[in-house]
């Protein structure tokens, strides 16, 4: 946070050190800590989530720290270990985290997350263009995003297997995992991979910011919709921060209406979410073998 007293700055540093160096420690109960899956460039994440931390701190009346993580699995681990009490997860990472922390709850999702989708993008050298029919991408090189991404791996892999009747390893000459959606776009745009799967929100945001050269890379197919990102909170938060704190966090997220904050996600608003909303994600993950 900006302009913190020395003791608050030290508490923030301690929380980050705890997360990166000592996974078995827990953050102090006085500081409410959250993280987010690293689905885009790290500098973008810091900018947007430090703003969210400021908003939460003002509304909740407690010190709030955003702690960045290096991978989707690190976000799940931090939640499991109580290094963070709240997390902005993707559909799959949220399912994984709630399985590890009994009675944890999905409490809010972006309005758009009720009907999220992925884009399949292609380098211009493939000659492929946009179509409602699934494209003939057999034998190409293909990159997903993170291995734990719902929109960059889970759902695209599911639809690939449904349409091609092959696993990605069987269908493509080479399969990669870029790590995040921004890198996926960059790798396909450069021709490092011919085809990629990307979160449609990241694509549209980077397109609006002039970061995508559509003469080199374009969308050739979009998936059917599915539930995706959500805020998930640990079940023991009320015991640490007082009765009704979970509801207070939920209300604070649902009432977030600052256009600048919402644009940073980017979402038009937040709406209620429940664990049951993500059963389709869990079912698909089981079907393709990503969770037991």
Interval 6-30: pLDDT, tens? 444 434 444 444 454 444 344 444 8
- Whether residue 266 is preceded by a cis peptide bond, meaning omega within 30 degrees of 0, is yes
Domain ranges of the chain: 6-113+227-287, 117-222
CATH class of 117-222: alpha beta
Residue 93 host element (H or E): helix 91-100
pLDDT of 16: 45
**pLDDT score at 285:** 96
Predicted confidence band of residue 70 (pLDDT cuts 50, 70, 90): very high
Full DSSP string of 22-60: -TT----TTEEEEEE---S-HHHHHHHHHHHHHHHHHHH
- What is the reported pLDDT for 30? 82
pLDDT at residue number 45:
80
Q: What's the whole-model pTM score? A: 0.84
Cα-based torsion angle of the residue sequence 174, 45, 262, 76 in order, rounded to the nearest 10 degrees: 70
Distance CA(242)–CA(97), nearest Å, equals 23
Chain CA centroid to CA 171, Å? 26
What pLDDT sits at residue 21? Answer: 40
Whole-number pLDDT of residue 189: 98
For residue range 178-230, list pLDDT tens digits in order.
999 999 999 999 999 999 999 999 999 999 999 999 999 999 999 999 999 99
Two structure tokens written together for 209: 């910011």
pLDDT score, position 265 = 85
Q: pLDDT at residue 5 above 90?
A: no
pLDDT at 44: 74
What average pLDDT is seen over the chain? 90
Query: Quick check: 20 and 75 in contact, CB under 8 A?
Result: no
CA distance 177 to 179: 6
What pLDDT is attached to residue 264? 77
Q: Tell the CATH superfamily of the 6-113+227-287 domain.
A: Periplasmic binding protein-like II (3.40.190.10)
Question: How far apart (Å, rounded) are the C-alpha atoms in residues 161 and 197?
Answer: 14
Nearest of 148, 131, 150, 142 to residue 167 by alpha carbon: 142
Residue 181 makes CB contacts below 8 A (sequence gap 6+) with: 39, 40, 145, 149, 151, 152, 198, 199, 202, 203
Instruction: Name, in order, each residue with C-beta under 8 angstroms of 103's C-beta and a sequence gap of 6 or more.
Output: 235
pLDDT in the model for residue 200: 96
Same fold for the pair 6-113+227-287 and 117-222: yes
The pLDDT score that the predictor gives to residue 40 is 72
> What pLDDT does residue 15 have?
46
Q: What is the pLDDT of residue 224?
A: 97
């Amino acid at each position: 946070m900006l302009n913190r007293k020395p003791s608050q700055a030290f508490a923030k540093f301690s929380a980050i050190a705890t997360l990166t160096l000592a996974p078995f420690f827990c953050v102090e109960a006085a500081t409410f800590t959250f993280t987010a899956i690293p689905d885009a460039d790290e500098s973008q994440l810091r900018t947007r989530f430090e703003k969210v931390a400021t908003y939460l701190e003002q509304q909740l009346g407690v010190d709030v720290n955003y702690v960045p993580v290096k991978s989707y699995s690190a976000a799940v681990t931090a939640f499991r270990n109580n290094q963070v009490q709240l997390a902005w997860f993707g559909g799959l990472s949220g399912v994984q985290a709630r399985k590890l922390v009994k009675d944890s709850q999905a409490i809010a999702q972006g309005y758009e997350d009720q009907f999220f989708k992925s884009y399949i993008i292609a380098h211009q050298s493939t000659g492929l263009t946009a179509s409602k029919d699934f494209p003939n991408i057999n034998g190409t090189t293909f990159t997903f995003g993170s291995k734990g991404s719902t929109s960059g791996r889970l759902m695209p892999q599911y639809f690939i297997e449904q349409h091609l009747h092959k696993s990605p390893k069987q269908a493509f000459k080479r399969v990669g995992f870029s790590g995040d959606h921004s890198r996926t776009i960059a790798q396909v745009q450069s021709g490092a991979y011919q085809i990629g799967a990307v979160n449609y929100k990241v694509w549209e945001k980077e397109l609006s910011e002039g970061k995508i050269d559509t003469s080199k890379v374009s969308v050739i197919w979009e998936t059917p919709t599915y539930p995706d990102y959500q805020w998930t909170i640990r079940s023991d938060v009320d015991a640490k921060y007082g009765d009704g704190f979970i509801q207070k966090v939920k209300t604070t997220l649902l009432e977030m209406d600052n256009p600048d904050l919402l644009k940073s996600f980017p979402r038009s608003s937040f709406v209620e979410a429940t664990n049951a909303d993500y059963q389709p994600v869990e079912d698909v993950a089981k079907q393709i073998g990503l969770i037991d």
